[in-house]
Amino acid sequence: MKTAVITFPGSNCDRDMWVALRDVSGREPVKVWHGDADLPDGLDFIALPGGFSYGDYLRSGAMAANSPIMRSIKAAADRGVPVLGICNGFQVLTEAGLLPGALMRNAGQTFICRTVTLAVENTQSLFTSRYEAGEQINIPVAHHDGNYFADEETLDRLEGDGRVAFRYVEACNGSRRDIAGILNAGGNVLGMMPHPERAIEDDHGGSDGRRLFESILGELV
pLDDT of res. 173: 96
Q: What gap in Å lies between CA 191 and CA 46, rounded to an integer?
A: 12
Report how far apart, in Å, the C-alpha atoms of 45 and of each of 60, 80, 132 are.
23, 10, 23
- Which residue range is the domain that position 74 belongs to? 3-220
Backbone angles phi, psi at 216, to 5 degrees: -70, -40
Q: Is 151 exposed, middle or buried (0-12, 13-18, 19+ CB in 10 A)?
A: exposed
Selected catalytic residue, list 13, 34, 87, 95: 87
**CATH code, 170:** 3.40.50.880
| Count of domains forming the chain | 1
pLDDT of res. 74: 98
Task: Give yes or no: 87 in active site.
Answer: yes
Quote the pTM value.
0.96
Selected catalytic residue, list 34, 143, 172, 195: 195
Q: Which residues contact 63 (CB under 8 A, 6 or more apart)?
A: 53, 54, 57
Task: Give yes or no: 197 in active site.
Answer: yes
Selected catalytic residue, list 13, 121, 172, 197: 197
Task: Dump pLDDT digits (tens) for 162-189.
Answer: 999 999 999 999 999 999 999 999 999 9
